[in-house]
Amino acid sequence: MQEFRDRVAVVTGAASGIGRALAERFAAAGMKVVLADVEQGALAAAERALASSGARVLAVPTDVSKASDVEALAQRTLEAFGAVHVVCNNAGVSVGGLAWEVTLADWEWILGVNLWGVIHGIRTFVPILLRQGEEGHVVNTASMAGLLSGPGIAPYNVTKHAVVTLSEALHHELAVASGGKVKVSVLCPGWVNTRILDADRNRPASLGAATPVRPELTAVREQVRQLLQSGLAPAAVAEHVFAAVRDGRFYILTHPQWKPAIRTRLEDILEERPPTLRVMA
């Protein structure tokens, strides 16, 4: 996609972290931006900040795990701006714990946001992009956890691997259905300075409390927190995404130092050997 000015971007999970940075980058390119998030206070603050910079912006409270909310988001977008050109299915949460101890409520929450949120975004917005007959782009946020499989975050790995394969299939389908006009990218970042470990702040009360962190895993969790805090700035990730949309690039790997680990995983598969555990800093 080469033209951005006056086109429309929709970003889920836009109140903070990578989502907010994406919204700011698209706004800086002259796009009209629709912000979607379940955290209403932070969403309103993000809307005010973008509007004060001169951007044309619309904030829509959205729980991406609900198809009706995503459909309402699309309707509000079309009512306000008449079209949509870039869709970032970015909202995400995290759940840790041993695979056999994570509760069904934890699974329901993380699958609902990280996977069903992307599914709802594709089912709702791709038909609109195709009907318009213009250039369009879908960006699905996965993770290095969608290409590697570390311990202690099995539910997160499951959702992110699913987003990668869903995006790969969508790439092939859109190449046929749109004649190449509508493209897709999958974002697979490593450590990024976000509040993903504090995602419980938006956990629905109906699902109860998250699985407690085992005492022996507390130190590991704090190490992860430190790695996140020293990680890539969300604005830098947004630059990678913007360049990928502009250049029509599918895989967005923001941390090239992780590529050897990806190569090792592929070799493990081809050699039919057990997966290699590599701790990435």
pLDDT band at 216 (very low <50, low <70, confident <90, very high): low
| Cross-strand pairs, 153 | 97
Lowest mean pLDDT among 57-61, 128-132, 208-212: 208-212
Question: Domain tally for the chain?
Answer: 1
Give 83-94 pLDDT, tens digit per residue: 999 999 999 999
Please say whether the beta carbons of 103 and 50 come within 8 A.
no
For tokens 């590599």, the residue is 278
Q: Which two tokens stand for residue 170?
A: 């969508």
Residue 241 placed within a domain: yes
Q: What is the mean pLDDT of residues 200-222?
A: 81
Average pLDDT over the chain, rounded to an integer? 95
In a domain, 195, yes or no: yes
- Tens of pLDDT, residues 241-270: 999 999 999 999 999 999 999 999 999 999
The answer to whether residue 280 sits within a structural domain is no
Q: Which residue has the higher pLDDT, 66 or 226?
A: 66
User: What range defines the domain where residue 106 resides?
Assistant: 8-271
Residue 27 has pLDDT above 80, yes or no: yes
Residue length of the chain: 281
Residue 279 lies in a domain: no
Instruction: Evaluate if residue 67 carries a pLDDT over 80.
Output: yes
Q: What is the dihedral of CA 135, 140, 144, 146, to 10 degrees?
A: -120
Is residue 232 in some structural domain?
A: yes
141: in domain: yes
pLDDT digits (tens, 9 = 90+) for 39-59: 999 999 999 999 999 999 999
Position 172 in a domain:
yes
Positions annotated as catalytic residues are 156
Q: What is the pTM of this model?
A: 0.95
Q: Categorize the per-residue pLDDT at 218 as very low, low, confident or very high, splitting at 50, 70 and 90.
A: confident
What is the tens place of the pLDDT at every residue in 145-184?
Answer: 999 999 999 999 999 999 999 999 999 999 999 999 999 9
- Position 225 in a domain: yes
Note the pLDDT of residue 211.
Answer: 73
**pLDDT of amino acid 68:** 98
CATH of the domain at 163: 3.40.50.720
> What is the average per-residue pLDDT within 66-82?
98
How confident is residue 281, by pLDDT bands cut at 50, 70 and 90? low
